[in-house]
Amino acid sequence: MMTELHQNGQEEVRIGYFVCHCGTNIAAMIDVAAVAEYVSTLPNVVVSKDYRYMCSEAGQDLIVQDIKEHRLNRIVVAACSPLLHERTFRTATQRGGINPFFCHMVNIREHGSWVHEDRAEATEKAKALARGAIGRVKYHKALEKRREPVTPAALVVGGGIAGIQAALTLANTGKKVYLVERDPTIGGHMAKFDKTFPTLDCAACILTPKMSEVYAHPNIVLWTYSEVEGIEGYVGNYQVRVRRKARYIDEELCVGCLDCVDECVFKVGNVDDEFNVGLSKRKPVYMPFPQAVPKLVVIDPVACTHLNGGNCQKSCVDACERAAINFDQTDTIEEIKVGAVIVATGFKTFDPKRKPLYGYGKYPNVYTALEVERLVTSCGPTEGEVVCRDGRTPKKIGIVHCVGSRDHQTNRWCSRVCCMYSMKLAHLLHEHTGAEIYNFYIDIRAPGKGYEEFYERLQEEGNHFIRGRVAEITDIPKVAEEEGMLTIRVEDSLAGFVRRIPVDMVVLSTGLEPHADSQDVRRMFNISCSREGFFLERHPKLAPVSTTTDGVYLAGCCQGPKDIPDTVAQAGAAAAEALTLLDTGYVEMEPSVSVVDPIFCSGCKTCLNLCPYHAITRDDAKGVAVINPVLCKGCGVCVAACPSGAITQNLFEDREIFEEIEEVLAYA
């Protein structure tokens, strides 16, 4: 092969091999000195060394110096996963004065020392892998990263606390932000909460100022009652289509005076109020809640008599002094360009009807936790008075934890917030009613700042904590004291026997789930999701807010259940990641992309429909496939599929791969 390269008039290949001890991470299981000794005998290898920490400054300098001293033009580093340090060693290679893509890494830690138990065999494997790398690296070519400009604006999808926080953080740095929310108001779930654990801050007091700030912010374009319909483009250059649903209200004219609501022909509400989770009724023309942002009414086209073709005197129109009501309004489509997208679409709560033994929907006094949030809040349907659906004020209340969570019949995951909000509700319910509170839990999970202390406080306040998953809630009495009560049957797994506890009211601490349409959202933004349906971060530890699609970031519960502090922190992180992209002003594209050689492309169309990133199009005039290098992620699907071998992938050319395989096999 050497002679071939000489004949091609290229310079002699001079390889430097560096094997890392990684302290004892590698050296304890692999005889690195022996590997270095072996590699020094391989063709084209000029330098072969082992060093304690290759990624350290001194280790990198070793590469830099040896490149200069020995005129090395290829570098192989055997160390940890390229995911961790490929960039480090490519940069070092570049500092040495040669193209960074002449550097190749061999993973002998995750693929070597950490997974083997026999030192001799692990050492042999490291030698074989080294030989493969030495074989392939001679075919490496000098590659350049590409740069593309970035549109300095961001789209935030979802106006809950995650979206609000992300939007404000970005907007405060001077970037333009489009905040798109499906509902008529921003605020999300947090707006429905009474207080927040463990500090018992009033949720509205800390949230509504932020909502107003969003509305007033000069850098934020807020579109509520709107949905993202489509997105095209690539990192730094997305074109987004947003559908703005008809509100039947002129947003420029409406001031939220509610005169139209007062004058609606329906004198009382006739539709379940979404904000009070069905505990009250609203009219067809309504404002979700008094602190809604934007402070605009909306007309529900399903409930409105006129919009349903009925004969209505349209008293709302007459009531509006500003003539803001416009029944002719239709949906409009906005087209925007953004550089980054933050997906903050939130969650839905578990539907407890899926656990029929808990009697939700059957017994009126069984509530979900979110309903109780509305019951205990002073701006709720009962103005904070806790009265059950059957009119009684509860004296004994049971709170059932883990409803739809940690349950192999429904959702296996822990929803993370239920223990804490259950205890918060226990505290508030006791405060409002003086009732005796029973918590039925599997484990109390209180791993946050001040959380364990809150748990202790609850215990000191006299709340009962019974460890056991509730088996059944029934209104069939067995003894006199169960008459007219809901009896909770549970195996107390600490005491070791089955208890029956009669209560007036049951609160089901329902878990968090992905939205029903999360798969559609996932497909639209071309991101992955875990088996549970929560959107998947690029790396659970090292890239927790990034996704596999560059320029698309995650914040809040759409990525997994989390509490408000974590959500806000994550939203800040997502904003920071987006800002890094927007502020840099350009994106650097890895050159390990696929390339069509138009000379060899027969235009057979095999590849066109395969690209998961929509990077391949057909130039009909020339009859060839064309790959947009900006969209290409280098997954290799088209390379494998191209029947003419016209598509190749940088750093993964056939000869590189085959040479590597052949050399590894030849080692044996």
Residues whose CB is less than 8 angstroms from the CB of residue 472 and which lie 6 or more positions away in sequence, other chains included: 357, 358, 488, 489
Q: DSSP E strands: which ranges in 495-634? A: 497-503, 505-510, 512-513, 552-554, 586-589, 594-596, 616-619, 624-627
Q: Is the separation of the CB atoms in 529 and 518 below 8 Å?
A: yes
231 lines the binding site for other proteins (CB under 8 A): no
What pairing do the DSSP bridges indicate for beta strands 220-223 and 176-180?
parallel
654 lines the binding site for other proteins (CB under 8 A): yes
Task: Name the residue nearer to other proteins (CB basis): 197 or 613.
Answer: 613
Q: How far is the CB of 552 from other proteins (least distance, A)?
A: 25
Q: How far is the CB of 639 from other proteins (least distance, A)?
A: 9
Residues between 253 and 282 that touch other proteins (CB under 8 A): none
Q: How far is the CB of 237 from other proteins (least distance, A)?
A: 24
Q: How far is the CB of 228 from other proteins (least distance, A)?
A: 25
Residue with tokens 């022909």: 265
403 lines the binding site for other proteins (CB under 8 A): no
Q: How far is the CB of 602 from other proteins (least distance, A)?
A: 4
Residue with tokens 């903050």: 344
Q: How far is the CB of 645 from other proteins (least distance, A)?
A: 4
Residue with tokens 């480090």: 88
499: three-class secondary structure by DSSP: strand
Task: Name the residue nearer to other proteins (CB basis): 7 or 311.
Answer: 7
Task: Name the residue nearer to other proteins (CB basis): 253 or 637.
Answer: 637
646 lines the binding site for other proteins (CB under 8 A): yes
Listed ranges 127-135, 227-235, 275-283, 646-654: which one lies at the site for other proteins (CB under 8 A): 646-654
Residues between 39 and 78 that touch other proteins (CB under 8 A): none
624: three-class secondary structure by DSSP: strand
Please state, in angstroms and rounded to a whole number, the distance separating the CA atoms of residues 397 and 391: 15
Selection from 551, 548, 579, 554 nearest residue 566 by Cα: 554
Please state, in angstroms and rounded to a whole number, the distance separating the CA atoms of residues 455 and 427: 10
Task: Name the residue nearer to other proteins (CB basis): 543 or 610.
Answer: 610
Task: Give Cα separations from 372 to 352, 383, 391 (angstroms).
Answer: 14, 12, 15
Task: Name the residue nearer to other proteins (CB basis): 484 or 643.
Answer: 643
Task: Name the residue nearer to other proteins (CB basis): 490 or 639.
Answer: 639
Stated as kind and residue range, the H or E segment containing 120 is helix 119-137
Q: How far is the CB of 119 from other proteins (least distance, A)?
A: 33
Q: Is the separation of the CB atoms in 297 and 249 below 8 Å?
A: yes
Q: How far is the CB of 636 from other proteins (least distance, A)?
A: 11
Please state, in angstroms and rounded to a whole number, the distance separating the CA atoms of residues 668 and 657: 18
61: three-class secondary structure by DSSP: helix
Listed ranges 280-288, 375-383, 496-504, 642-650: which one lies at the site for other proteins (CB under 8 A): 642-650
Going residue by residue from 583 to 602, which x/- string records binding to other proteins, judged by CB under 8 A? --------------x-xxxx
Listed ranges 13-21, 130-138, 379-387, 603-611: which one lies at the site for other proteins (CB under 8 A): 603-611
464 lines the binding site for other proteins (CB under 8 A): no
Task: Name the residue nearer to other proteins (CB basis): 15 or 638.
Answer: 638
Task: Give Cα separations from 412 to 405, 440, 448 (angstroms).
Answer: 6, 18, 22
Task: Name the residue nearer to other proteins (CB basis): 252 or 620.
Answer: 620
Task: Name the residue nearer to other proteins (CB basis): 199 or 602.
Answer: 602
665 lines the binding site for other proteins (CB under 8 A): no
Q: How far is the CB of 648 from other proteins (least distance, A)?
A: 8
Handedness of CA 253, 259, 265, 268 (dihedral sign): positive
Q: How far is the CB of 620 from other proteins (least distance, A)?
A: 10
Task: Name the residue nearer to other proteins (CB basis): 155 or 631.
Answer: 631
Residues between 604 and 633 that touch other proteins (CB under 8 A): 604-610, 618, 623
Task: Name the residue nearer to other proteins (CB basis): 265 or 641.
Answer: 641
Listed ranges 155-163, 397-405, 461-469, 634-642: which one lies at the site for other proteins (CB under 8 A): 634-642
Task: Name the residue nearer to other proteins (CB basis): 528 or 602.
Answer: 602
Determine which residue in the list 319, 448, 641, 667 makes contact with other proteins, applying CB under 8 A.
Answer: 641
- H/E/C letters for each residue in 198-251? CCCEEHHHHHHHHHHHHHHCCCEEEECCEEEEEEEEECCEEEEEEEECCCCECC
Please state, in angstroms and rounded to a whole number, the distance separating the CA atoms of residues 601 and 643: 9
546: three-class secondary structure by DSSP: strand
Q: How far is the CB of 134 from other proteins (least distance, A)?
A: 21
Task: Name the residue nearer to other proteins (CB basis): 215 or 652.
Answer: 652
Please state, in angstroms and rounded to a whole number, the distance separating the CA atoms of residues 88 and 533: 34
Please state, in angstroms and rounded to a whole number, the distance separating the CA atoms of residues 387 and 365: 10
Q: Is the separation of the CB atoms in 489 and 478 below 8 Å?
A: no
Q: How far is the CB of 605 from other proteins (least distance, A)?
A: 5
Phi and psi at residue 512, in whole multiples of 5°? -105, 140
Task: Name the residue nearer to other proteins (CB basis): 277 or 611.
Answer: 611
Q: How far is the CB of 31 from other proteins (least distance, A)?
A: 34
DSSP secondary structure code for residue 564 in this structure: H
- H/E/C letters for each residue in 415-449? CCCHHHHHHHHHHHHHHHHCCEEEEEECCCCCCCC
644 lines the binding site for other proteins (CB under 8 A): yes
Q: Is the separation of the CB atoms in 348 and 515 below 8 Å?
A: yes
Q: How far is the CB of 594 from other proteins (least distance, A)?
A: 14
Q: What is the rounded (10 degree) CA torsion for 28, 30, 35, 37? A: 40
Count of chain residues binding other proteins (CB under 8 A): 26
Task: Name the residue nearer to other proteins (CB basis): 145 or 605.
Answer: 605
10 lines the binding site for other proteins (CB under 8 A): no
Determine which residue in the list 43, 447, 585, 643 makes contact with other proteins, applying CB under 8 A.
Answer: 643
Listed ranges 160-168, 340-348, 546-554, 643-651: which one lies at the site for other proteins (CB under 8 A): 643-651
Q: How far is the CB of 606 from other proteins (least distance, A)?
A: 5
Task: Name the residue nearer to other proteins (CB basis): 202 or 637.
Answer: 637
Q: Judge residue 340's burial from the number of C-beta atoms within 10 Å of its C-beta, 0-12 exposed, 13-18 middle, 19 or more buried.
A: buried
Please state, in angstroms and rounded to a whole number, the distance separating the CA atoms of residues 541 and 563: 18
Q: How far is the CB of 599 from other proteins (least distance, A)?
A: 7
Determine which residue in the list 317, 489, 637, 652 makes contact with other proteins, applying CB under 8 A.
Answer: 637
Residue type, 373: E
648 lines the binding site for other proteins (CB under 8 A): yes
Interface with other proteins (CB under 8 A): 597, 599-610, 618, 623, 637, 640-646, 648, 654, 658
